[in-house]
């Protein structure tokens, strides 16, 4: 059995997990949106379309365990954390199945887990589909323990019929009742054992509205969702209602319009309930097809509420944290110094990097020539890289080497955005203090996706370097 499981795991899962000795994963002190995250082994935290549940004083993150260069289901990953900042890889909680709805070449997305109060069982729900998204169904899997392994049970049924929906999520109300939410404004009540649907409560409330998420605060229900642009970003919006059955009132965008939800798509809202207050954490995905494993990032932000209960994300917090004891959040303080590209005598660039000043007032070095590289030498315990993302941005490789030329870490960044935006694109795990180099290399690749009769993505392969962040 174990042997079978091992054989079915993708190669990158089995690759040796021997992190370079200079890497000190686990010492991060802030939730950093828009940069790759690393687990205890220095590997990418790959949990897209995720949800989080609390259990036994820890938070558990479940999401799509992605691969680069392919959209087929390679499993749902489970990570755990004491602080919502540092994530421990626990397991591939549900691996690809030998056949059926999550079999070879199929699609599996948006896993969400709830603990059933009636049975004590953990139930995972997900979107299953064929490679062309023409056979959608909501499936479920169960496990006696939170980290799995989960057993795939097939599609969820309503009166014996398969729930043929794609984007989905779940919601557990205060009384323990469980609900399934899907795209286009559909809401269903789950049976007491959480393994079937008993009735539909809301039907086709709003056309489109993908990546749905429901949460409740002070007796008011919130329903968030995205526009229908596949993995491209758009201005997500929300509805509120005093009862799950509605009426649901449309409230509009919750991030400033034009920011495209700070370049993300909703996946979940986590109430971090503390002794003093509750922080409601918006969780979004910044997809990066076809580099969904290495270059996709998380956009997790604290939601604000006004006196009337309206939500917003008025500013982008690149680094912040939430005290899981008290429930209070605060911006992260940083002991870093910022080094611009103009004042750095520690920077060497190959040909083909051009100084660029754009209409938005940003100045950077950029290149779209595959293989062009730029190296920055630094002394410290952590390195970050800022870039300017633009509509013609592409993927770049980031490599850290120690003073003996040994590779400490390689990672992939993306500097694509449908408007010009400058922010942190890479932040290393903690390093043993010392001398290192950071090299950025243009990969000559870009975000693209063709689906639902439309094409999305970048118009170019430019990688941008704006400045560096160094922690002593
Ligand atoms: C999005 C959806 C994602 C994925 C993608 C594929 O609209 O939210 O989960 O299915 O489409 O095009």
Model confidence band, residue 335 (pLDDT cutoffs 50, 70, 90): confident
Tokens coding 410: 């390689």
For the segment 11-64, what is each residue's pLDDT rounded down to a tens digit? 444 444 457 889 988 889 999 999 999 999 999 999 999 999 999 999 999 999
User: Is 210's C-beta closer than 6 angstroms to any atom of ligand 1?
Assistant: yes
User: Is 451's C-beta closer than 6 angstroms to any atom of ligand 1?
Assistant: yes
Report, as an integer, the average pLDDT of 70-76: 97
Protein residue with least CA distance to atom 7, ligand 1: 230
Res 4 pLDDT > 50: no
Tell how far the Cα of 352 is from the centroid of ligand 1, in angstroms: 36
Tell how far the Cα of 133 is from the centroid of ligand 1, in angstroms: 9
User: Is 67's C-beta closer than 6 angstroms to any atom of ligand 1?
Assistant: no
Least confident of 205-219, 289-303, 443-457: 443-457
What's the whole-number average pLDDT of the chain? 95
User: Is 109's C-beta closer than 6 angstroms to any atom of ligand 1?
Assistant: yes
For the segment 159-205, what is each residue's pLDDT rounded down to a tens digit? 999 999 999 999 999 999 999 999 999 999 999 999 999 999 999 99
Residue in 112, 134, 167 to alter for ligand 1 test, most ligand atoms within 8 A of Cβ: 167
For the segment 117-168, what is each residue's pLDDT rounded down to a tens digit? 999 999 999 999 999 999 999 999 999 999 999 999 999 999 999 999 999 9
Neighbours of 251 (CB within 10 A): 16
Say how many CA atoms lie within 13 Å of 128 toward its Cβ: 26
Res 3 pLDDT > 80: no
Residue in 126, 210, 232 to alter for ligand 1 test, most ligand atoms within 8 A of Cβ: 210
User: Is 128's C-beta closer than 6 angstroms to any atom of ligand 1?
Assistant: no
Q: Which atom of ligand 1 is nearest to the CA of 228?
A: 7
DSSP assignment of 417-428 equals -SS-EEEEEEEP
Q: Which atom of ligand 1 is nearest to the CA of 110?
A: 9
Q: Which atom of ligand 1 is nearest to the CA of 183?
A: 8
Report, as an integer, the average pLDDT of 242-254: 98
| pTM recorded for the entire structure | 0.95
User: Is 231's C-beta closer than 6 angstroms to any atom of ligand 1?
Assistant: yes
Protein residue with least CA distance to atom 11, ligand 1: 230
Residues with Cβ within 8 Å of 294's Cβ and at least 6 positions away in sequence, in order, are: 36, 44, 68, 288, 411, 412
SS3 assignment, position 100: helix
- Give the strand pairing for 76-81 and 88-94: antiparallel
For the segment 357-406, what is each residue's pLDDT rounded down to a tens digit? 999 999 999 999 999 999 999 999 999 999 999 999 999 999 999 999 99
Res 244 pLDDT > 70: yes
Tell how far the Cα of 202 is from the centroid of ligand 1, in angstroms: 22
Tell how far the Cα of 443 is from the centroid of ligand 1, in angstroms: 25
Neighbours of 325 (CB within 10 A): 10
Protein residue with least CA distance to atom 2, ligand 1: 230
Give pLDDT, residue 18.
59
Report, as an integer, the average pLDDT of 458-462: 98
Q: Which atom of ligand 1 is nearest to the CA of 107?
A: 10
Report, as an integer, the average pLDDT of 100-104: 98
Residue identified by tokens 């430019």 is: 462
Protein residue with least CA distance to atom 1, ligand 1: 230
Res 430 pLDDT > 90: yes
Give pLDDT, residue 19.
75
For the segment 303-325, what is each residue's pLDDT rounded down to a tens digit? 999 999 999 999 999 999 999 99
Res 10 pLDDT > 70: no
């Amino acid at each position: 059995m174990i042997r079978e499981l091992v054989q079915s795991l993708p190669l990158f899962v089995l690759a040796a997990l021997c992190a370079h000795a200079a890497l000190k994963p686990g010492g991060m002190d802030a939730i950093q949106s828009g940069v790759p995250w690393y687990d205890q082994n220095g590997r990418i935290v790959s949990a897209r379309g995720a949800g989080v549940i609390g259990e036994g004083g820890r938070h558990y993150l479940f999401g799509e365990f992605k691969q680069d260069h392919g959209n087929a289901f390679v499993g749902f990953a489970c990570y755990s954390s004491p602080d919502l900042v540092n994530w421990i890889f626990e397991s591939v909680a549900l691996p690809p199945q030998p056949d059926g709805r999550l079999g070879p070449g199929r699609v599996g997305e948006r896993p969400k887990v709830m603990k059933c109060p009636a049975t004590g069982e953990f139930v995972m729900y997900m979107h299953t589909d064929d490679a062309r998204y023409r056979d959608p169904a909501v499936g479920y899997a169960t496990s006696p323990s939170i980290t799995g392994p989960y057993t795939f049970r097939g599609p969820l049924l309503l009166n014996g019929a398969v729930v043929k929906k794609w984007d989905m999520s779940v919601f557990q109300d205060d009384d323990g009742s469980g609900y399934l939410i899907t795209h286009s404004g559909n809401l269903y009540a789950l049976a007491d054992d959480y393994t079937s649907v008993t009735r539909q409560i809301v039907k086709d409330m709003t056309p489109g509205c993908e990546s749905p998420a429901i949460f409740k605060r002070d007796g008011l229900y919130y329903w968030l969702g995205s526009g229908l642009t596949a993995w491209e970003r758009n201005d997500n919006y929300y509805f509120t209602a005093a009862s799950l059955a509605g009426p649901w009132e449309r409230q509009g965008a919750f991030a400033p319009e034009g920011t495209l939800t700070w370049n993300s798509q909703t996946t979940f809202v986590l109430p971090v309930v503390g002794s003093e207050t509750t922080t409601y954490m918006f969780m979004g995905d910044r997809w990066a097809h076809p580099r969904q494993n290495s270059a996709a990032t998380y956009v997790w932000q604290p939601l604000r509420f006004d006196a009337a209960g309206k939500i917003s994300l008025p500013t982008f917090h690149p680094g912040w944290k939430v005290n899981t004891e008290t429930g209070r959040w605060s911006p992260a303080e940083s002991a870093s110094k910022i080094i611009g590209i103009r004042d750095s005598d520690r920077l060497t660039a190959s040909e083909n990097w051009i100084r660029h000043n754009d209409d938005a007032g940003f100045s950077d070095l950029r290149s779209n020539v595959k293989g062009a590289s730029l190296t920055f030498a630094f002394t410290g315990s952590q390195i970050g890289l800022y870039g300017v993302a633009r509509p013609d941005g592409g993927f770049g490789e980031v490599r850290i080497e120690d003073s003996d030329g040994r590779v400490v870490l390689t990672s992939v960044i993306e500097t694509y955005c449908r408007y010009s935006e400058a922010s942190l694109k890479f932040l290393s795990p903690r390093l043993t203090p010392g001398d290192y180099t950071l090299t950025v290399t243009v990969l000559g690749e870009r975000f693209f996706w063709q689906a639902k009769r439309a094409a999305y993505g970048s118009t170019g392969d430019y990688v941008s370097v704006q400045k560096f962040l160094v922690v002593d």
